[in-house]
Every structure is written in structure tokens, then in C-alpha cells.
Amino acid sequence: MDRRKAIKNIALAFGCTVATPTLLNVVTACTDNSVSTNYLFLSKSEAELVERLTETIMPKMYFPLVETMNLTVFLDQMFYHTENDKSKENFRKGSKAFENELSLNHNKKVNKISNEDFIATFKTYFNPEKEDAVFNLLNDDFNELSPDKKTDFSMYTFLTKVRNYCLFGYATSEAFSSETNFYTT
């Protein structure tokens, strides 16, 4: 009699062992698949803004490798490890100023603004005719600027840092160097 119970229990245990992974897959498939990144420096809203800026600066249509690089994480780590506290503070001020400017211009939250409107606003700040004035402003001392110029200074600091780190991250990536080597050999 005990043999029958033992065989029954072994069959039940084997069935549970086989069915458990399938059941777990079904349960986890119902959850949100988005990957949460823990940034060292960027807040969630700053990371979203930087992500949109990287997509604007380096469109996937022209730079297909950008999709695999995760430049937002690169920028976050570079800022966390290499920039001083003053630069970090200016970056945060500029991020907030640019976010406010976008919201005011389009009467929407940043994540609700269409890509066309986002690109149009971005292009107004990186206008080739204004470039000399922008870099002259960035060479000035922040403490000696008038209050209205301080906002522009912070915003342009933010935008140029994002642009520079995007280009730096792309140009120094392994994927870019292997692609470049493919075309040069």
C-alpha cells in the first residue's frame, strides 16, 4: 500500500516540477516589460529629457548603432564620475530651464510634446547664426551675468553638455570603431 502512495507522490512532485516554470512564465508575462534603470546622477525626468535629446541629436535613421549604445546611461555615468559639483548644478538648472521652456512653448508636459515640436524647439537653440553668441555666453562667468542671461547660460550649458557627451559616447564606442574599420579597410 505504501508503494502506491509513494509512486503517486513522486508523480505529483514531478508534475509540479515540470509545470512550475510554465506557470511562472504566464504570470510574469502579465507584468510591465519596461526595464528600470537606476541612474547615478540623472533624475527620472532628466533622463527622459536626455533620451529625447539624444534621439534628436543623433537620429536612428542616420546613426543606426545609437540604438544599441544607451547614450543616456553613458552620459549619466560620465557626469557622475567626471564633472565637478558646479557643473552638475548648472546641468540640473539648465535641464529644468529647458524643460520649462518646452512646457511654456507648447502648453504640454515634455513627454506629451510631439517629436516635430521637440526638434523645432531644439533647432532654435542650435541655430548656426546664434552659435558664436552662445559660445561667447558660455565663456562668461556665471556670477557676473544678469539674471535673464543666467537662465540662458544654464540652458545652453545643459544642451551643449548633452550634445558633446552624445558625440563623445558615439565616437568612442566599440560599435562605432568596428563600423569605421569596416569602411576603411
Domain ranges of the chain: 1-33, 44-184
3-state class of 3 per DSSP?
Answer: helix
How large is the average pLDDT for residues 20-29?
58
Among the residue ranges 9-18, 86-95, 143-152, the one predicted with the least confidence is: 9-18
Residue 22 has pLDDT above 70, yes or no: no
Give the pLDDT confidence score for residue 63 in this predicted structure: 83
Give the pLDDT confidence score for residue 31 in this predicted structure: 47
Is-contact 92 155, C-beta < 8 A? no
Give the pLDDT confidence score for residue 85 in this predicted structure: 92
How large is the average pLDDT for residues 140-166?
86
Residue 34 has pLDDT above 80, yes or no: no
How large is the average pLDDT for residues 28-32?
49
Is-contact 165 183, C-beta < 8 A? no
Q: What percent of the chain has pLDDT over 70?
A: 85
- On average, the pLDDT of the chain sits at 81
How large is the average pLDDT for residues 113-119?
86
Is-contact 154 90, C-beta < 8 A? yes
